[in-house]
Homo-oligomer: A and B are copies of this chain.
Amino acid sequence: MQETRLDTARIRAARRVIDPIFLDTPLYRCEAMEPGLGCAVSVKLETANPVRSFKGRGTELVAGLLAGQGSPAAVCASAGNLGQALAWSGRGRGLDVTVVASRFATTAKLDRIRALGARLELVDGDHEMARDRAAAIARHEGIRLVEDSLDIETCEGAATIGLELVGTRPTFDTVLIALGGGALATGVGHVVKACAPDVEVICVQPLGAPAMTHSWHRRHVVTTDSTNTIADGVAGRRPIAAVLDDLLLVADDAVLVREESIIAGMRMLFTHAGLVVEPSAALGIAALLEDRDRFAGRHVATIVCGGNVDVDAYRRWVGATPLHG
């Protein structure tokens, strides 16, 4: 493998900095889902922690670094999960955290960011506008801008999931990873390719937010004008070139899935696995549903990366008939 921006030794070292509450998450077969999917499925569950997503792994590294440097403050743009995690990690270290989010972001995520003591600023636009605004705040206030997927700590934190995936026996044939900004995919992908190169790394993105997937296939950054997906956690329009370069080295494929498949995946995880997941966390199951032949008979691991949902929206998605999706 050509070298990505990540380093496996640094990722192993990161485990010692991250609060153990985010590490060694459950990884287990969900046999009740398998008849409906035609393959063996294991889930890596990243929702059973204080912020209900994997993002705490990365923010622990960021906040630990800032506290070590005596930095008093940080700002990030977030669809909600990074902001919540940075607020949690910052609170424990006395950092002033500002989160910039779209006013269309998931209400439950925004509520938790406020409850965790962060300053929340809403922009009247999408996540890319929040990124611009966060950068402006960082420049103006002279504080650290935490950029998801670009900042190596966010990738290294996510990459610790990879260590937990490759450390098990039997290994998997395929790992399905939600693709948004790319921290999760490049982080986990790096470790899988470094430690278990035969395991296939497939990224999954919604058809309604395909910028990074298009970029991967064309091998250069492709932006889009808008996004249209319920998977708020991965709804970016402007991929970061350095992240794409890493993704080109570690991903075997990047696929796009329909909204109805994401909903069917959420419903299946609820009905047959008892898991409440946000749309981004159902992308892997959506990919299995859309291409059963490709995965038939294989053992697939999928990272259930977050569970922060607005309850009313979740009920609409999952409560709809048919009951046994």
Contact = CB atoms under 8 A, between A and B. Distances in A.
Interface of A: 21, 24-32, 45, 47-50, 52, 112, 115-116, 270-271, 274-276, 307-309, 311-312, 315, 319, 323-324
A308 B25 CA distance: 20
Contact of A49 (B21, B26, B49, B307): B26
A24 B21 contact: no
A50 B21 contact: no
Contacts of A24: 24
A126 to B, nearest CB: 25
A324 B107 CA distance: 14
A205 B30 CA distance: 30
A194 to B, nearest CB: 24
Contacts of A319: 315, 319
Q: How many copies does the complex hold?
A: 2
B31 A50 contact: yes
Given A48-B26, A312-B323, A32 B274 contact: no
Contact of A274 (B21, B308, B324): B308
A274 B323 contact: no
Contact of A26 (B26, B28, B311, B324): B26
Contact of A52 (B49, B112, B274, B307): B274
A270 B47 CA distance: 13
A24 B116 CA distance: 26
Contact of A28 (B21, B32, B276): B21
A24 B274 CA distance: 20
Contact of A276 (B32, B276, B309): B276
Nearest to A42: B50
A11 to B, nearest CB: 21
A207 to B, nearest CB: 26
Nearest to A276: B274
Contacts of A49: 26, 28
B50 A274 contact: no
Contacts of A28: 21, 48-50
A45 B28 CA distance: 14
Contacts of A21: 26-28
A307 B115 contact: no
A275 B116 CA distance: 20
A81 to B, nearest CB: 13
Nearest to A307: B274
Contacts of A275: 276
Nearest to A306: B274
A137 B131 CA distance: 67
5 nearest A-B residue pairs (beta carbon): A26-B48, A274-B276, A274-B307, A28-B50, A45-B48
B323 A31 contact: no
Contact of A48 (B48, B52, B116, B270): B48
Nearest to A315: B319
A230 B80 CA distance: 36
Nearest to A270: B276
Contacts of A307: 274
A112 B272 CA distance: 10
